[in-house]
Amino acid sequence: MVKNINNSQYELVIVGAGVVGMGAAIAAQKKGVKKILIVERHQACTGASIRNFGFITITGLRQKIMQERSLRSREIWLDIIKKAKITINHRGLYLIAQHKESIPVLEEYLKIDPRSTVRLLSKKEMESHHPLFKKNKNFGGLHSTDEVRIEPRLAVPAVAKYLESTGIDFLWKEEVLDFTDKQIVTQKRKIQFKKLIMAPGNHLKGLGRNVFEKRKIQSSKLHMLRVMPEKKFKLPGGIMADLTLMRYPGYENLPSKKKLDKVIQKTSRAELDNGIHVIVVQGKDGSLIIGDSHQYTHDTHYPFEKEKIDTLILNKFEQILPIGRYNVVERWIGEYPSGKNDYLDHWLDKNICIANVTTGIGMSTGFAFAEDVINKLY
């Protein structure tokens, strides 16, 4: 809680308590910036940062800057995970090839990913990693040991609490309605700043609306589910499969992908039409978080959710991980901004920046992106 805020002059004001806003605060603090305030319109971050898989992904990201940002973000996450006492649910990633045409794509991918921590597993090796991989159809797949999974709805508030304990001020439940070159205006007060970062996430019709419209930033809407398996088991890492090869940018220009595209267009037309690829991660209680789909608009999404999309996601999930009976215990919608470029840092002047991750990869790369913004600011 901030005291005497009306009389305060902040060195740095940040709008938005998501991964990007808090990443900027972490980076600024490391540079010795003293008076930092994060203003959040809700009682906590309720945006994409708590709605995602909590999966810090390295594999399949675009070379070079995106993957470098994911590796740097991972370092920052691991540090904050320790300091804020956040639980890691599991580590690593299995990308399961359910089509034989995926294997050449993965072989080509390994040639461009410089890490030694990612390798191709044969079907036999895959089967030796988990009993479930004996039950599904697979031709082997990728295994990376770098990925980390945390529960975002717990982790993001834990980061905020930790940052508060280090002297960063948070102003909750106040919306920044306007700003000049030296002050922000909320529904309750005006606050002076020297430098300002706006990290509003998918709040595209508020602050920075003109910039988002000019840059043709869209909102991407995703379906997410949490299921509880009847028979408990431990997932050996995050799970992806062939449909991810159709969506993640690291695979997009690989020569063998053209052949795979044709096969997947035949086997998974409805999934492609709804932007579905399947990621599965696990929570502490054994539940599985499963997603996702993608629908895009320049306007505001209508609130009606097609059951068909959830059915398609769950059907694919059952093919990838045949776990037997389960109950759907939660469903939710997440939204993130999507643009032509992966990141948007729009400088209104040398002290004011709008910072947004404009592809669905901010949990994995947002901390490092925010650090780069701070390095430009100071």
Ligand X SMILES: Cc1cc2nc3c(=O)[nH]c(=O)nc-3n(C[C@H](O)[C@H](O)[C@H](O)COP(=O)(O)OP(=O)(O)OC[C@H]3O[C@@H](n4cnc5c(N)ncnc54)[C@H](O)[C@@H]3O)c2cc1C
Residue numbers at the binding site for ligand X (CB under 6 A):
15-21, 39-42, 45-49, 51-53, 55, 57, 175-176, 199-203, 206-207, 222, 224, 279, 291-292, 334-336, 356-357, 360-364, 366
Ramachandran class of 25: left when φ > 0, alpha when ψ lies in -120 to 50, beta otherwise: alpha
Report how far residue 162's alpha carbon sits from residue 167's, in angstroms, rounded to the nearest whole number. Answer: 9
Residue nearest to ligand X (CB): 362
Between 103 and 163, name the residue whose CB sits nearer to ligand X.
163
The dihedral built from the CA positions of residue 211, 26, 11 and 171, taken in this order, carries a sign that is positive
Q: Which is nearer to ligand X, 68 or 175 (CB)?
A: 175
- Please identify which residue in the block is written with the tokens 């280090």: 166
Angle between helices 19-30 and 362-377 (to 10 degrees): 40
Residues 312 and 295: their CA atoms lie apart, in Å, by 14
Report the first-to-last Cα separation within the chain, whole angstroms: 27
For residue 129, the minimal CB distance to ligand X (Å) is: 21
Distance CA 70, CA 61 (A): 8
Judge whether 274 and 293 are in contact, CB under 8 Å.
yes
> In the bound complex, what is the minimum distance in angstroms from residue 234's beta carbon to ligand X?
20
Specify the residue, 20 or 121, whose C-beta has the smaller distance to ligand X.
20
Q: Which residue has the tokens 């840092």?
A: 345
Tokens 């379906």 correspond to: 223
Query: Which one, 33 or 58, has the nearer CB to ligand X?
Result: 58
CB of 143 to ligand X, least distance (A): 18
Shortest distance, CB of residue 175 to ligand X, whole angstroms? Answer: 4
Min. distance of Cβ 84 from ligand X in angstroms?
17
Residue number, 241 or 363, with CB nearest to ligand X = 363
Give whichever of 49 and 136 is closer to ligand X, judged by the CB atom: 49
The minimum distance between CB 291 and ligand X, in angstroms, equals 6
